[in-house]
Structure 1
Amino acid sequence: MSDNKLDEKSMSDADVASPKVAELYRPADANTVSINEKKLMRRIDLHIIPWLALLYFLNFMDRGNIGNAKLYNMTTDCHISDTQYLIALTVYFFPYALFEPVSNVVLRRLRPSIWLSTLMFCWGVVMICHGFIENYGGLVAVRVLLGVFEAGMYPGIVFYISSWYKRAEMGTKIAYFFSSATISGAFSGLLAVAIHNMNGVGGYASWRWIFILEGLFTVVVAFLSFWIIQDYPETAKFLSEEERTFVIRRLQDDVRLSAAGEKYKKKYIWQSLKDWKTWVAMGIYMGFDGPLYAFSLFLPTIINKAFTATKANLLTVPPYVMGCIATIAVGIIGDRIGTRYYVSLLLFATGAAGYIILIASRSAGLSYFAVFLAASAIYPSIRNAWVAGNVEGAYKRSFTLGMAIGWGNINGALSANIYRAKDSPWYTMGHGIVLAYIAIRNYFRYRENARRDRGERDEVIDGIVNKNANIRNGQYPSVDAARLDKGDDWSGFRYVL
């Protein structure tokens, strides 16, 4: 790299020292010297993460509780065949994947408190309707609507977190909120067993009460979310003006120049669509979400082949607890060591071992042990921190997250069909496909940072002599102008693994 070229760290220092930069990119002057960063971020954590974890807890439980309901004769009562059941699971994923990119752009143009609460209320109502279906057509209809309204929650939460935290903190924060998915899986089994005691109450079977009660709770939380969710740092009511300024400056020092707000422009969407990293991320998420949905939708069914329905629902709890612990541990370790490469290799080995055992095993006990290995590898592998931390520009980041997560989720349509009734009790084909997914996602190795270190992405900056600068990378009056316009394509931006 040329001596005249500013790297990421020196650029941050230059920003702080330059009155011109402060005027252009910083919020209004405020005295932030007395602010204790650790205490402030701890307070932000308490305001942001627990409630988001609750929202995703309900999001994941409401999409997956159909597996618990199935064990209590849902398909029998509604005269639904195994093939029809798999189709009903499949149709959920098409609107879910399609609406994720659009939903994230709407979220940014509106406010998280409005958009996330609205989505949640709508899918809560749809979940209640699950309890009143009578046939296959009704099941397909409610699953399609559930996919529409649940689509925006997960990518929306990831984008929302990226609007509050530095890139080096993303893994831990997302791990905390995503661990609620494992908790929901565990709680869903326990709750299904408890609600089964209501069988016959009001003339409704217990599987209907699973949907009705969980849907009602979701609706209540949706109403509360409108007042509880704080939108962005620049408007958060629980922060003082000095604290808002401190948080925004903190993000801008982390190459998040859009932290103080960004007006919507179509070019940000085109930047995402033309960026090769968007398409690579979409491929990577195929390997993340395929195993995730296969595990969550069919774990009760897999265990049920060796145990009764109630025991099978109860036995789903310990693997999810293992997944929760592993998710949090991996998020913390990844952020502290500054890379998730070696952690990814460990997760690959653990997940592969688990599914190899599931393929070869003909023992219920051994297969149950392998499920623990699978859970401890699948849930920590959901690497939305990678995308959220490596895309600059609020609208570009929101759309890219929607694209990557949406395409990954379309693989849920395949996952919903790989555990067929005729393959029971050992489901060799299903386990083999999940193993292939795990292998695919570990094929990717990222080399873009090295190209930037060699100066291959350097822009032409007026007044700066740089032998590596190339007009193909753009020409700008200042480094600051290049940063604002190019976002994560700026030559000084570095990707974190």
Structure 2
Amino acid sequence: MKIEEPVLERHPSPDEATVASSIDPVMEKRVIAKFDRWFLPQIFILNLIAYLDRSNVGNAKVFGFAEDLHLKGNEFSNLVTLFYVTYVVFETPWAACVKRFGVNKVLAVAFVCWGIVTLGNGFVQNYSQAMACRLLLGAFEAGISPSIAFFISTVYPRKEQAKRMAMIYISAALSGAFGGLIAYGIQKMGEQRGLAAWRWLFIIEGVVTIVVCGCCWFSLPTTAEDAWFLTEEEKSMMQLRKKLEHVYKGDDKFEWRYVRMATVDPMVWLAAVSLFGAGVCLFGFGTFLPSILKGQGYTSLQANYLSIPVYIWATIATTFATWLSDRLGMRAIVAFFVPLPVICGYAIAIGTTNHGAGYFAMYLVGTLYAYNTLLMSWLSNNLKPDYKRAVGLAFYLSFGNISGAIAGQIYVADTAPRYVLGNAVSLGMEAMAMAGIVALYVLWRSRDMKKQQLLDEGVTDNGKEGDRALDFKYIL
């Protein structure tokens, strides 16, 4: 059943009507199609490579990484956790740089730097060196998600953003499939030139990152209004469109009050807490799936190739959920039901030692990528103006990604092979994420109802700005 949204009855100002009449809908559709052709494929590839670099340590673990570095106790889990320490710290600064320098420059610098670090991972000899690489990798990789999410929010209409935001998590899910396939091939390759197979995993992926991703300095646009693949007429139309769209209204000049608007807004905190819960599951799943499968009785080689179809299913589920959300114009109801199969999957994994049932449970858990996609696009839809959105998304992702540190500590060595602790904590966190959708829906619907009440009373200005102003309607 479709959620009925409150209708904020507001007539456009004369200036807005003039701008709206100047926008050619045929040209607008053509411009959006151009961004789909030139921007989205690049983002998909870049993000795919990013998640390969982040999660390849999980594949490396099952064929000798921990043993060759003589890791003891929970030292491998600590390496997983350390990545998110710097990742969380640097997300907001990177996001602020996007608005100042452009998405192409920020992503190019970040990708090349972490490609170098990934390459260096292939030559580490001990725990201390591995720690340094993980900390640096987190610092440089921190910019990708908030940068991409913010740029998407400046190009596409709010109700069409979910399927574009899905590129972030679809590529993340597919990276698991490609990661398993690459790891399988490299493991079969064995030792070459005196280097263990897991070292070649880091070396090859590091080189690919540097070469492929460094090109985005030239191939990606700086802003939506000056994209190199647009004609001058199309660029002018994008400028007009920016003036018209409620979500893009407001002064582009940075002011610290925008930071405060984002960090004190309860909806940003609610979304961040919800992402934290879902993130424990996502990061634990993305890093430890090969280990979980190995713990179910499969060999190291089987664990790598059996993970491939799980991630393919995760990609299909994410694509369908985001398409459905945009198609029906609903965020809340779709996001609410997505965690149900995830919870069921964890419950099965906890409750049975049967190999087949445990493997099937991983398919259910794989639907978790859809939740993160829907939540991020939903929050992006409901933040205004630009700087509040940029800071709000970065803060939301930074807080949510603290969960990566938790995920690294719940799948610890002494709970192998079944990792009941990690699966149980993940089940509870996914339930918390599900409850967060309800809380966000209630908050945003309440705000819209209060705005409508003021409009019915003849009030024209409630003294607030951005998404709290009377002229902004939340997408539910």
TM-score, normalising length: structure 2: 0.92
Query: Which segment is superposed worse, 450-459 or 439-448?
Result: 450-459
Superposed displacement of residue 60, structure 1: 0.8
Residues 409-442 of structure 1, C-alpha deviation per residue, up to 9 Å, x if partnerless? Answer: 0011011111122222221111110001111011
> Match of 1:370?
361
Correspondence 1:286 to 2:276 = yes
Correspondence 1:399 to 2:396 = no
> Match of 1:477?
none
8 Å CA contact 1:457–1:469 kept in 2: the answer is no
Superposed displacement of residue 195, structure 1: 1.6
8 Å CA contact 2:343–2:430 kept in 1: the answer is yes
Superposed displacement of residue 491, structure 1: 1.8
Correspondence 1:224 to 2:215 = yes
Residues 71-111 of structure 1, C-alpha deviation per residue, up to 9 Å, x if partnerless? Answer: 11111111112411111111111110111112101111111
Q: In 2, Cα distance between the equivalents of 1:256 and 1:208?
A: 46
> Match of 2:86?
95
Q: Measured at CA, do residues 315 and 270 of structure 1 come closer, stay the same or move farther in structure 2, by a change above 3 Å?
A: same
Q: Measured at CA, do residues 466 and 338 of structure 1 come closer, stay the same or move farther in structure 2, by a change above 3 Å?
A: closer
Correspondence 1:332 to 2:323 = yes
Q: Measured at CA, do residues 76 and 455 of structure 1 come closer, stay the same or move farther in structure 2, by a change above 3 Å?
A: closer
Correspondence 1:264 to 2:254 = yes
Q: Measured at CA, do residues 33 and 385 of structure 1 come closer, stay the same or move farther in structure 2, by a change above 3 Å?
A: closer
Letter in 2 for 1:50: P
> Match of 1:426?
418
1:208 to 182, 199, 209: 199
Q: In 2, Cα distance between the equivalents of 1:385 and 1:34?
A: 24
Does the residue aligned with 2:401 lie in a helix, a strand or coil?
helix
Q: Measured at CA, do residues 34 and 394 of structure 1 come closer, stay the same or move farther in structure 2, by a change above 3 Å?
A: closer
Q: In 1, Cα distance between the equivalents of 2:28 and 2:451?
A: 37
Equivalent runs, 1:113-192 vs 2, <5 Å: 113-192=104-183
Superposed displacement of residue 274, structure 1: 2.4
Superposed displacement of residue 279, structure 1: 1.6
Residues 199-235 of structure 1, C-alpha deviation per residue, up to 9 Å, x if partnerless? Answer: 3222101100000000000001232111101122221
Letter in 1 for 2:343: A
Letter in 1 for 2:398: G
Correspondence 1:412 to 2:391 = no
What stretches of structure 1 of length at least 5 have no aligned partner? 1-6, 460-464, 475-481
Superposed displacement of residue 357, structure 1: 0.6
Correspondence 1:300 to 2:290 = yes
Superposed displacement of residue 288, structure 1: 2.1
Residues 277-324 of structure 1, C-alpha deviation per residue, up to 9 Å, x if partnerless? Answer: 222222111122111001001000011121111111000001100000
Q: In 2, Cα distance between the equivalents of 1:195 and 1:13?
A: 62
Q: Measured at CA, do residues 15 and 89 of structure 1 come closer, stay the same or move farther in structure 2, by a change above 3 Å?
A: same
Q: In 1, Cα distance between the equivalents of 2:433 and 2:128?
A: 36
Superposed displacement of residue 452, structure 1: 4.0
> Match of 2:4?
none
Correspondence 1:489 to 2:453 = no
Q: In 1, Cα distance between the equivalents of 2:46 and 2:9?
A: 36
Equivalent runs, 1:20-99 vs 2, <5 Å: 22=19, 32-33=23-24, 35-99=26-90
1:447 to 423, 426, 442: 442
Q: Measured at CA, do residues 46 and 61 of structure 1 come closer, stay the same or move farther in structure 2, by a change above 3 Å?
A: same
Q: Measured at CA, do residues 457 and 325 of structure 1 come closer, stay the same or move farther in structure 2, by a change above 3 Å?
A: same
> Match of 2:17?
17
8 Å CA contact 2:105–2:222 kept in 1: the answer is no
Q: Measured at CA, do residues 372 and 467 of structure 1 come closer, stay the same or move farther in structure 2, by a change above 3 Å?
A: same
8 Å CA contact 2:281–2:368 kept in 1: the answer is no
Q: In 2, Cα distance between the equivalents of 1:402 and 1:50?
A: 23
Q: In 1, Cα distance between the equivalents of 2:261 and 2:24?
A: 37
Superposed displacement of residue 44, structure 1: 1.4
Letter in 2 for 1:298: F
Equivalent runs, 1:306-317 vs 2, <5 Å: 306-317=297-308
Superposed displacement of residue 449, structure 1: 4.2
Q: Measured at CA, do residues 300 and 319 of structure 1 come closer, stay the same or move farther in structure 2, by a change above 3 Å?
A: same
Q: In 2, Cα distance between the equivalents of 1:469 and 1:33?
A: 33
- Alignment size in residue pairs: 466
Q: In 1, Cα distance between the equivalents of 2:318 and 2:399?
A: 22
Q: In 1, Cα distance between the equivalents of 2:380 and 2:152?
A: 9
Q: Measured at CA, do residues 17 and 213 of structure 1 come closer, stay the same or move farther in structure 2, by a change above 3 Å?
A: same
Residues 363-421 of structure 1, C-alpha deviation per residue, up to 9 Å, x if partnerless? Answer: 11100000000002344443210111110111111111011011110011011111122
Letter in 2 for 1:411: S
Identical residues among aligned pairs (%): 31
Superposed displacement of residue 453, structure 1: 4.2
